[in-house]
Amino acid sequence: MFTFVRKSLHASSRLLLFLMLMFVGLLSFGGGCSGLFNAALLLKARNWPITEARLERCDPSLSQRKNGEYYWRLFATWRYGEGMKREYSDLWSPNDAPTYPASSDSAVVDAHDRAAIIARYCSSLASTQLRASLTHPSWVVRNDAAERGEWKRELSMGIAAIFFGLFPMGFSLLVLLVDERKDPRYQNTIRRCFSKVMQLVVKPR
């Protein structure tokens, strides 16, 4: 496999492939790290005090999964803190929200069920409580999310995203090692990889 890649890729193609794979890997890795942070935040938030909040906005929207199924997501904004000067926004899908098969007409579903979704969920969000950190007031989570243990889902998704990101990142480094000739100056993979990075990034003067 690597022999074929070695013969078919030129330096410019290797650089382009390296950048693409590294970008995808870093994107997934960054999303995974964000998921781990959210999981830690939700876990720690169970010990935070409940703060007074006022619902400013509630906007339901239809989204589509990879299998074609439609589901509802809610985007809500609250005001909280002293003088209600701080703002917190969240986007999530309620666990008991209705779903629709892929054959459904999203425009018809949106027009028919939007009012019912607003009445069902947005009305209850008006009384939703928030938990805010005493040391970092900008760290806020919904009380129901902390109590339901949503940190477990965030943790599993974060770990999965990190692993999925490591694969293209690792393969991108292998792409840098592909060459049409063997270089006897380097005796291990790490040093060869470092040499390739320097050759592609640092321009000769």
pLDDT digits (tens, 9 = 90+) for 64-123: 888 888 999 999 999 998 888 899 998 888 888 888 888 888 887 888 888 888 888 888
Q: Which amino acid appears at position 192 of this protein? A: R
Give the tens place of pLDDT for each residue, 2-19: 454 454 456 667 778 888
What is the widest separation between alpha-carbon atoms in the chain? 71
Mean pLDDT of the chain: 81
**DSSP run (H or E) holding 39:** helix 11-45
What the block records as the tokens of 159 is 């770990």
- Report whether pLDDT(20) > 60: yes
pLDDT of 24 higher than 50:
yes
Nearest to 29, CA basis, from 183, 130, 170, 136: 170
* Residue tagged 């439609």 (tokens): 70
The structure tokens listed for 1 are 């496999």
Residues 131-176 pLDDT 10s: 988 888 888 888 888 888 888 888 999 999 999 999 888 888 877 7
- What's the CA gap between 121 and 49, in Å, rounded? 24
Q: pLDDT band at residue 27, thresholds of 50, 70 and 90?
A: very high
Half-sphere exposure of 84 (CA within 13 A, CB side): 8
Q: What sign does the dihedral 136-141-147-148 (CA atoms) show?
A: negative
